[in-house]
């Protein structure tokens, strides 16, 4: 399952962004769930609660660098334009 995220304060064409996210998710073989519009939770928390394996953004700047880092702790991230893939952070621990 993929979590679609659009920053409506940043997006100039949210409906076009939504269509692009759905198209990319279809190409990657994912079903998209969308956040509750009234949620006050951070994107990372919403993606975790949804059980998403992937968060799809229209562009990297729809998340702040700190929020992108937080999302990458719980899911992979894909952007539509430019086409980028960010792998989830590894959770392995190094032992001496």
Q: Which residue spans within the chain are E strands per DSSP?
A: 2-4, 32-33, 54-57, 76-79, 84-86
| 9-53 pLDDT per residue, tens | 999 999 999 999 999 999 999 999 999 888 899 999 999 999 999
Task: Report the sign of the C-alpha dihedral through residues 49, 54, 57, 63, in that order.
Answer: positive
For 65, the token pair is: 């660098």
Q: Please report the pLDDT score of residue 13 as a whole number.
A: 96
Q: Does pLDDT of 89 surpass 90?
A: no
Domain segments of the chain as ranges = 2-86
Q: What is the pLDDT of residue 94?
A: 61
Q: Which tokens belong to 63? A: 């998340």
Which one-letter DSSP state was computed for residue 86?
Answer: E
Say what percent of the chain tops pLDDT 90.
86
């Amino acid at each position: 399952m993929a979590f679609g995220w659009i920053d409506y304060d940043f997006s100039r064409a949210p409906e076009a962004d939504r269509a692009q996210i759905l198209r990319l998710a279809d190409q990657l073989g994912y079903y998209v769930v969308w956040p509750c519009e009234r949620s006050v939770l951070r994107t990372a928390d919403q993606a975790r609660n949804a059980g998403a394996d992937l968060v799809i953004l229209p562009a990297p700047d729809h998340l702040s660098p700190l929020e992108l880092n937080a999302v990458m702790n719980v899911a992979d991230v894909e952007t539509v334009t430019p086409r980028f893939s960010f792998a989830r952070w590894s959770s392995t621990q190094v032992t001496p």
